[in-house]
Structure 1
């Protein structure tokens, strides 16, 4: 059965289509030093892959999700009908279903508008509703204050801080682990009675 898009007004999280792949590839690889990479794990170099391999890996990932009868592990983030990023998850440990989320907004013109926060809110709820997990988490670094703020707004809290283990542009930063338990998500869900999900 085809998964329906997740919607919040003009913001949509939808399954990656084959027609999206050229645009996604350009968003990721068009610039040698893209602005988004300064915030998304800048301590790892962006390793360009050939377009054919990118297509193969993306489609293979979607096919693997279908075969395993689990929700698609990545979705396009679309705002006002425009692809602006990707949101994803991966299973760190299948035995405990330790799950980590990831998000990238590729277009700097879309930063600071709440797209990341709203996407993470929809995505974490979708994962709790459709997977037998007790926790959702994400890993970032202390230099990415926007990511930490967005995660905090949707209910994640700092669970671990590995001090000064990330080196970016000559400075040391902390690695930050954040997470939310299912019971915390359920409590937050039940308290969202005023229509504002980000208190």
Structure 2
């Protein structure tokens, strides 16, 4: 149960054109969205009108590196990846659950597990990882639940609201993922 709502299905897939308005509402409509307090709040963020957003629709729609997270067929978040260094297959990933109603529900952990499965299945990757900050304790816990290792902790390099936080890089090797998931294959 999630706030009185039964979670029936969590799926991840590319975003479709008829879902762009909802994606905009969740991600870039508000000047100060709640999710931005946790997703690199030390980085600049600018809301935009739907007209501005739709001009960038090709970035969000039917992409391999940007997918939606759906709960009971409703878009609630997004997943992405980017190449830190493509020649050595160094890929970093990210996740956002936009609506706080869906936080602390396990949806992010399940969606990120599905994303990691997808990335390892579709690409010849050796490792996947993400970077977060010590102020986002939920993201660090998700990484730990998924068997990731804290590979780096750069101390006091993220300044937010007058406080210094650590930058944290977590990663997972293909063989570690396969070993911990072999009973499920």
Above 0.5 in TM-score?
A: yes
Report whether the alignment pairs 1:23 with 2:22.
Answer: yes
Question: How many pairs were matched up?
Answer: 179
State the TM-score, normalized to the length of structure 1: 0.84
- Greater RCO (CA < 8 Å, at least 6 residues apart): 2
Cross-structure match for 2:54: 55
Report whether the alignment pairs 1:138 with 2:130.
Answer: yes
Between stretches 107-116 and 30-39, larger displacement belongs to 30-39
Cross-structure match for 1:68: none
Report whether the alignment pairs 1:111 with 2:110.
Answer: no
State the TM-score, normalized to the length of structure 2: 0.90
1:161-182: per-residue Cα shift (whole Å, max 9, x none)? 0000001122110000000011
**1:18, 1:90 → 2: CA distance?**
22
1:51-85: per-residue Cα shift (whole Å, max 9, x none)? 3443343415657x5xxxxxx11111111222111
Contact 2:69/2:111 (8 A) holds in 1: yes
Contact 1:62/1:73 (8 A) holds in 2: no
Gaps of 5+ in 2: 1-6
Cross-structure match for 1:11: 10
Cross-structure match for 1:41: 40
Name the CA shift for 1:60/1:38 in 2 (closer, same or farther; >3 Å): closer
Moved over 2 A (4+): 48-58, 60-63
Cross-structure match for 2:69: 77
